[in-house]
A and B are shown apart, each in its own frame.
Chain A
Amino acid sequence: MIKTIIIDDEPLARDMVKEYLKAYPFISVVDECGDGFQGVKAIAEHQPDLIFLDVQMPKINGFEMLELLNTQPGVIFTTAFDEYAIKAFEAHAIDYLLKPFSRERFDKAVQKWKQHHSATIPNRGLKEMEEETTALTPEQHSRVVVKTGNNIRIIPMHEILYLQADDDYVKIHTKEGAYLKKKTIAYFEKVMDQNQFVRVHRSYMVQVGQVTRIEPYEKEGHLAILKSGEKIPISKTGYPKLKAILGL
């Protein structure tokens, strides 16, 4: 039996998918979710093979939800937004169904998934993630969604003090504490407002408004002192960038 979960905030839209799925007795709908928070929980619980996912949903959108998953099941997007198709395929979606969709189109998507099903989806490499910035949702430019234990936290960009690369993760430092996100610094460099955040070092990005002063450090190096007192290393190439934004 193949397990699937439908995640959509409109009950009738979920009914539509359920109706079309009746033609597939080997696929069972193990859960239905009205938002991404429930989605994350349900996916962790049921470990489905396939999910039907809407983009625009309460609190966090479909893409942000996918970012929170440890292992990603097969994803078929079902949405009325046609502007995120490219982004969907970057997120390794199997298909992208535009609402309202016909049974024929739905069947094609399921066929596609069946073909892909045998070949398990490889773990997404870091390099690949760095490249995926073609079509971000507006939400992704203004906030970061992180998971801490069982909680999901939405961090508005302006609450981020600085970012620190940490192996395959980026450590997001805020007033309340630090959170890990499986992304690269390069990703944030592309997403964040360039007038607010500067990559001052290979492993660091800092919010300009948080810098209170810059001190020389060893030879040729510098340190940015934040309001919180933390010290961020500035590289030789990062120094002129920070200076330019600060208007020095």
Chain B
Amino acid sequence: MTSARITSRNLLLINIALSAVFIIIQTAILMWLDISLRTSLIDSGVCYVLLSVICYNLGNILRYYRPGKSRFIYVFIWDLAISGVWLLAINWILSSIITEPGYLSLLPKSLPIRLFVAFLITGWFAMISWVIYSNEEQQLNEKRKQEAEKLTREAELFKLRKQLHPHFLFNSLNSISALTIARPEEARLMVQNLSDFLRGTLKNEEELQVTLEEELRLLQLYLDIEKVRFGHRLDTVVAKDETCLTAKIPQLLLQPIVENAIKFGLYDTTEKVLIKITAKKDDHLLTISVQNPFDPATSSSQKGTGFGLTSIYRRLYLLYGRNDLLETKAEGTLFITTVKIPQLG
């Protein structure tokens, strides 16, 4: 379709160019019918300037509202109506401003043909606008859809790569291997925890939102595994209002935030690390903050947020269209990551 190549930006240009052509043609026809040049020009000018304005507005209407394909017929009815109104208008204008007798006798006879031409022009213009705008909208939708799909896929891949952090997995397996020597009971427990955690992360995405209670259960598995790995160095506290347990949260949102905090805490200090997770809900917002110790003197290379949080930031933006839901701040030797989850309904 060549018309698909015509963009909406060119529509006005087409409109003006066509009007000019029609003005010339009609002037020529009228002069051929022995009407004076002046009158011919006034007639053609009035006709097509008015028609051009109508077409322009018609195009604008079709840009924002297009009846469904099955109701395309309505557009023709509109066209006919618009052409009729246009005909009445020019008939009134022309007969009141032009006094040339030859012309005045010609005008009533030319009305049917004028109506027909106007109908064709507006119809054609409506059609072309229709095609252009629906094409553009389709392209835009397509693009948006592709982008959304791409981001979702990326997020999912990212999640699989990062959340099932291979290092986390291999180090956990190594810990299990070590536990089998002297403490097989604990090894078995860790295998159980690791399996449950992996199953939780591999769960398909049908349920995008889960309750905080569910999310915390999965998180606890992760925390238990990490505590076995890092032994006495790692301590965790989860403080939550009972009321927020039923709050909804995107699946697997919390774990990477906590993982980031644990890594940050464990690798940035040599002392014991306390990770504190607090959840509270007010009005329509679930607020969860995760706090870890850090060393302000040497952590400048971490640039504050840490790599693990970029995917969270993006996910939140995709889900809620907001980029103010994830915040990080440093308070003395504490680094605090706060995530806000809007609660719908």
Cα A9 to Cα B177 with chains together (Å)? 16
Q: Which residues of B contact A57 (CB under 8 A)?
A: 267
A58-B268 contact in complex given A34-B233, A80-B166, A80-B170, C-beta closer than 8 Å:
yes
| Contact, CB under 8 Å: A99 / B171 | yes
Secondary structure at the A interface, as helix, strand, loop or mixed, is: mixed
Q: Which residues of A contact B300 (CB under 8 A)?
A: 156, 158-159
28 contacts between A and B (CB under 8 A): A9-B233, A9-B266, A10-B229, A10-B231, A11-B231, A12-B178, A12-B231, A13-B174, A15-B178, A15-B182, A16-B174, A16-B181, A19-B178, A38-B270, A58-B266, A58-B267, A59-B269, A81-B167, A98-B170, A99-B170, A99-B171, A100-B170, A100-B173, A100-B177, A143-B298, A143-B301, A156-B300, A159-B300
| Contact, CB under 8 Å: A10 / B171 | yes
User: A131 within 8 Å of B by Cβ?
Assistant: no
Q: Which residues of A contact B178 (CB under 8 A)?
A: 12-13, 15-16, 19
- Interface residues, chain A, with chain B CB atoms under 8 Å away: 9-13, 15-16, 19, 34-35, 37-38, 56-59, 80-81, 98-101, 139, 142-143, 154, 156-159
User: B80 within 8 Å of A by Cβ?
Assistant: no
Cα A37 to Cα B233 with chains together (Å)? 16
| Contact, CB under 8 Å: A35 / B270 | yes
The count of residues in chain B whose C-beta lies closer than 8 Å to any C-beta of chain A is 29
Q: Which residues of B contact A12 (CB under 8 A)?
A: 174-175, 178-179, 228-229, 231
Q: Which residues of A contact B230 (CB under 8 A)?
A: 9-11
- Interface residues, chain B, with chain A CB atoms under 8 Å away: 166-167, 170-171, 173-179, 181-182, 228-233, 266-270, 295, 297-298, 300-301
Q: Which residues of A contact B181 (CB under 8 A)?
A: 15-16, 19
Q: Which residues of B contact A59 (CB under 8 A)?
A: 267-270, 295, 298
Report B42 CB to chain A, min CB distance, Å. 63
Count chain A CB atoms within 10 A of each CB in B166, B167, B231, B297 and give the residue with the most: B167
Q: Which residues of A contact B182 (CB under 8 A)?
A: 15
Report B273 CB to chain A, min CB distance, Å. 9
Cα A215 to Cα B67 with chains together (Å)? 73
Cα A37 to Cα B178 with chains together (Å)? 25
| Contact, CB under 8 Å: B301 / A139 | yes
Q: Which residues of A contact B231 (CB under 8 A)?
A: 10-12
Among candidates B171, B232, B269, residue contacting A13 with C-beta atoms closer than 8 Å: B171
Report A192 CB to chain B, min CB distance, Å. 13
- List the 6 closest pairs (A to B, CB-CB), nearest first: A142-B301, A80-B170, A100-B174, A99-B174, A12-B178, A16-B178
Among candidates B267, B269, B270, B301, residue contacting A156 with C-beta atoms closer than 8 Å: B301
Q: Which residues of B contact A98 (CB under 8 A)?
A: 170
Report A199 CB to chain B, min CB distance, Å. 22
Cα A19 to Cα B187 with chains together (Å)? 15
Cα A100 to Cα B230 with chains together (Å)? 16
Cα A68 to Cα B257 with chains together (Å)? 33
Cα A30 to Cα B182 with chains together (Å)? 21
Report B283 CB to chain A, min CB distance, Å. 40
| Contact, CB under 8 Å: B269 / A58 | yes
Report B57 CB to chain A, min CB distance, Å. 52
Report B234 CB to chain A, min CB distance, Å. 10
A99-B173 contact in complex given A34-B233, A143-B301, C-beta closer than 8 Å:
yes
Report A136 CB to chain B, min CB distance, Å. 13
Report A60 CB to chain B, min CB distance, Å. 9
Sample of 11 further A-B pairs with CB below 8 A, known A13-B171, A154-B298: A11-B231, A13-B174, A15-B178, A15-B181, A16-B174, A16-B178, A58-B268, A80-B167, A99-B174, A100-B174, A142-B301
